[in-house]
A and B are shown apart, each in its own frame.
Chain A
Amino acid sequence: MIFRPSLLGVAFAALAAPALAFSGFPHTDVNCDVTTVFEAPPQRAVTLSNNATEIMLALGLQDHMAGTSYMGNLDISPEYAEAYAAIPVLSPLIATTEQLIEVEADWVYAGYPDGFAERWHTRDQLHDLGMTTRLATEGCNLGQFAFPDLWQELRDVAAIFGVPDRAEALIEGLQARLDAVDAALDGAEPAQVFIYNGGDAPPRAALGNTMLNAIVARAGGVNIFGDIEMRYGTVSWEDIVDRNPDHIVVFYSLTEAGQVVDNPRADIAQARIDLLSTFPAVADVTAVVEGRFHPISSVTGQPGPSSVRAVEELARLLHPERFAQ
């Protein structure tokens, strides 16, 4: 479908910059089967996930934002804390339709598919209210997702705001950090890694099409369920035992059963580690015997600039000998 922002989008954009002609506009954004034509950069963007928020701030787009949401009690990365504090937090959960209308959002950006679901608001529903939308492409589940795909996401978002140079500068810095990790890991034997996403009957895992899969690969590991071409799914305890991971990445987010938790690191990540440590079926798995559990939150584990930090931190945990001193 081709969608042109009609009611709010054009009106607010026009108000904000009446006389300027924007270079690079009209701009056509194609994203997960939704085509949007932008006549001007959005002026009242709202993010529906913490990684989407960080992508916006990493591109220096805070002046174009009307609000953020879905951070709960997770912490924004330190380098974005100042800019983040200046933007209204609409909700600890995903901003509701009413909240999006209230702040006159013209562009709504979700970092993963939770943001656009029937229980909140679908993209179509928001389009009908005059807003434009984007879903970070990892969430579209188009196949394996790796860092070049993340760079493309940054370029696409920057293009919507007419600031392509900022994306290139950002990518250059992030790529240099990845290259440094690559150099340190050169020739290292990949570690076998299980990416645990909670649950016990059955356990849930991050699979081949996730950003986490790419993070593990870049940090000198192999996702033991990376061969399954889906984002998240359930696996069996038997398969975990059979594939015998050396390390377990414990992925966690900000909610449990839909509710915001007070301390995600303790209440979710540590609870998951405790479960694995005492679960009889995996008692003999190498990672459990050695106690190698590595929590990664959705701030760094979902696709965003901090995914590079996740690689840096995880590489040190998987291959400490390579980072001595």
Chain B
Amino acid sequence: MTQAAGSHNPDADTLREDALAILRRAPDVDTRSAAPMGAAPGAARFRLVMAGYAVVTLCAAIGGLMLGSVAVPAETVLRILAHAVLGDRWITPDWRAAHEIIVLQTRLPRVILAASVGAALGVAGMTIQALVRNPLAGPSILGVSSGAAVGAVLTMRFGLVGFGVFTLHFSAFLGGLVTLALVFWIARTGGQIAPTRLILAGVATSAVFSALTSLLVLTSPDPQLAARVLFWTLGSFASAQWKLLPIPVLALILGLAVLILQARRLNLLLAGDESAAALGLDVDNFRRWMFVLTAALTGVTVAVAGVIGFIGLILPHIVRLMLGADHRHGLPAVALLGAGFAIGADLIARWIIAPLELPVGIITAMVGGPFFIWLLRRAAREMRG
């Protein structure tokens, strides 16, 4: 390792080197597997992978529009969509108005909500992993999600209305930001962020905030609050409506644009704080603003869809395995894959015990948990070998 360890705790050093090894391994995999494809594989491979992700996302989206508790013929769904885009000139509506409402007012916004939330979580996760140079970090592990949930539950519990219809989103955003600042502050020692401390701080903060959420629920006179909060803490796209969509979609577009513009700087961070500083990056300041941005992205997703775990944790790894650690390619790729993954997970959540719906967080956790364990085991094997 070329990284000069800033900490003098040998255990922490080991963990950190281990973490960095996982983050760094990705480019090696890239080089090895890409070698047979010929020279300058980066751009071509990026296009290929993006095309693959686009197909996955498109298939998931089509599935999301086709399937539901009412059977609408596939052809009708396609004609309704085409009519919505092209208008009366090309396609004459011959379907029931109810079917058009089902497709355009319930299924389509739901697919778009899932896509924007999945993309935002993937992007936020990849950024956080780079910021703290720790592959085990993610929006939920750092406590941002549980903090955002507390913000949202406070609003529901006490019926706060300061910002009209956006009060819930604002309070979730604020909750996420405060939590991230808190975790960051706890983990900060001598100007450095120790990965182990960061994760432990995140776990402890999450535990406290989860308890706070439960306390707020159980002491509430509103009998419906428990069900509403359960919905939040496990995540769901069932609240999808057009009027809700501008917030997550705008947050995603702005966040992704800013982060892609900052992709080179994120790449620099992977080389270590000292190296990045030597190359002219104001590391502390950069990191602070990037944290605010990721907290905003995560907070918005929690506000519209509740806490959905593991998307922000596992998808960045999959993307890095396929594309390497370059954020200029990684961020758009993880956004696209996140969109497809979330739509697909929602589809499974709706289908598995239809017409009942499972919270989508259960599906992402059941896929994500084993992947996380595999990641840990692989790291352990490589330490031995």
The answer to whether B70 and A102 touch across the interface, beta carbons within 8 angstroms, is yes
- The answer to whether the Cβ of A232 comes within 8 Å of any Cβ in the partner chain is yes
Given A104-B98, A118-B227: A258 and B356 interface contact (C-beta under 8 Å):
yes
Residues of chain A within 8 A of B239, CB atoms compared: 118, 122, 125
Cα–Cα distance between A240 and B92 once the two chains are bound (Å): 66
The answer to whether B68 and A98 touch across the interface, beta carbons within 8 angstroms, is yes
Question: A interface vs B, CB < 8 Å?
Answer: 91, 93, 96-99, 101-104, 113, 117-122, 125, 128-129, 141, 230-233, 258-259
Residues of chain B within 8 A of A93, CB atoms compared: 355-356
Residue with the highest number of chain A CB atoms closer than 10 Å, among B68, B222, B236 = B68
- Secondary structure at the B interface, as helix, strand, loop or mixed, is loop
Cα–Cα distance between A121 and B357 once the two chains are bound (Å): 12
The answer to whether B102 and A101 touch across the interface, beta carbons within 8 angstroms, is yes
A96, A118, A230: which contacts B69 (Cβ < 8 A)? A96
Residue with the highest number of chain B CB atoms closer than 10 Å, among A102, A120, A121, A231 = A102
The answer to whether B223 and A113 touch across the interface, beta carbons within 8 angstroms, is yes
* Contact bitstring B223-248, A, C-beta under 8 A = 1, else 0: 11001100100001011010100000
Given A96-B355, A98-B102, A128-B243: A118 and B70 interface contact (C-beta under 8 Å):
no
Cα–Cα distance between A258 and B102 once the two chains are bound (Å): 24
Residue with the highest number of chain A CB atoms closer than 10 Å, among B99, B222, B227, B355 = B355
Given A91-B355, A102-B98: A97 and B227 interface contact (C-beta under 8 Å):
no
Residues of chain A within 8 A of B101, CB atoms compared: 101, 129
- Nearest residue (CB) in B for A7 is B101
B328-357 CB contacts (< 8 Å) to partner A: 353, 355-357
- The answer to whether the Cβ of B7 comes within 8 Å of any Cβ in the partner chain is no
Residue with the highest number of chain B CB atoms closer than 10 Å, among A118, A129, A232 = A118
Residues of chain A within 8 A of B98, CB atoms compared: 101-104
Residues of chain B within 8 A of A129, CB atoms compared: 101, 105-106
The answer to whether B69 and A98 touch across the interface, beta carbons within 8 angstroms, is yes
- Nearest residue (CB) in A for B227 is A117
Given A98-B69, A98-B106, A128-B241: A119 and B357 interface contact (C-beta under 8 Å):
yes
5 further interface pairs, Cβ-Cβ under 8 Å (given A91-B355, A96-B68, A98-B70): A96-B69, A98-B68, A101-B98, A101-B102, A129-B105
Residues of chain A within 8 A of B243, CB atoms compared: 128
Residues of chain B within 8 A of A98, CB atoms compared: 68-70, 102, 106
Residues of chain A within 8 A of B228, CB atoms compared: 117-118
Within the complex, what minimum Cβ distance (angstroms) separates B95 from chain A? 12
